[in-house]
Amino acid sequence: MISEWRAAAGRTFRALRDAPMTYGLIALCCLIFVLGPASGIVPGYGTGYVLQDAQRVYFRTWGVVPAELFAAPLGHALTPVTALFVHGNWVHLLGNMLFLLVFGVLTEERMGRVEFTLFYIGCGYLALLGYAVANDTSEQSLVGASGAISAVLGAFLFLFPRARVTSLLPFLFFLPLRFPAWVVLPFWVTLQWLAAGRSAQGPGVAYLAHLVGFGAGFVYAWVRHGRGDRVKRAPEPAPEGENQP
């Protein structure tokens, strides 16, 4: 039993050492969420309608509001960055952090800490900005790290196309199956594309930001690392997780 604990601790230490920014981003997003009104944990934000008002103000302050971004760009220029660390609810947070864990560790190891951090924030900014440009009159707040995480998925597809990822497919009764990234991620992009075309009829999910982020991440990895610099064979399997398109 003790040897198993030591082995688990060793794996955890190596993961933290090799991909500290990925785990740091996850920890930061979780901390910000728990301390904010969206979690419903901090009693100081009140309950009921008072809590709902606090959440609306919070999202509007730190999220991207396209109409405000273009009406006063200097005053809201940083909101596409702050919005990357704000999440609407527990499902939103946990879903995003799962994707970041599964795909971020290897991507950071490949890029390096500094490059990965700048890549994550820069592509996330472009993803949210792209959504804002396409919806420049919208008054709805946009929050979440999904644009940046979509960029990580795009880079992962270019860098590790043959890495196998565990996926849950609804039409196969959610059986966990392992597929290469070049199968899973294009399928995910297709779903985002189809959903973006019907987004006006569905829930408030910024599918367009996902597409912009994914494209930016793939193009960045292609330009920055190039075909000659790509990993020639599949790396060690990515951490187990549920890739839910």
* For residue 227, pLDDT beyond 80: no
Residue showing tokens 């500290």: 20
Mean pLDDT across 165-182 = 46
The per-residue pLDDT for range 100-147, each reduced to its tens digit, is 998 899 999 999 999 999 999 999 999 999 999 988 888 889 998 989
pTM for the full model? 0.78
Share of the chain above pLDDT 70, in %: 68
Share of the chain above pLDDT 90, in %: 46
The per-residue pLDDT for range 205-221, each reduced to its tens digit, is 577 888 899 999 999 99
Q: Assign residue 163 a region: left if phi > 0, alpha if psi is -120 to 50, beta otherwise?
A: beta
pLDDT at 206: 74
Mean pLDDT across 51-74 = 91
The per-residue pLDDT for range 81-95, each reduced to its tens digit, is 999 999 988 988 988
* For residue 194, pLDDT beyond 80: no
Structure tokens at 222: 């292609």
- Is 186 in contact with 194 (CB distance < 8 Å)? no
Residue 155, SS3 per DSSP = helix
Residues contacting residue 92 through CB under 8 Å, at least 6 positions apart = 144
- Is 56 in contact with 127 (CB distance < 8 Å)? no
Mean pLDDT across 155-171 = 69
Strand partners, 233: none
Average pLDDT of the chain?
78
Residue showing tokens 């009406």: 71
Mean pLDDT across 165-187 = 49
* 104-108, 143-147, 178-182, 239-243: segment of lowest average pLDDT: 239-243
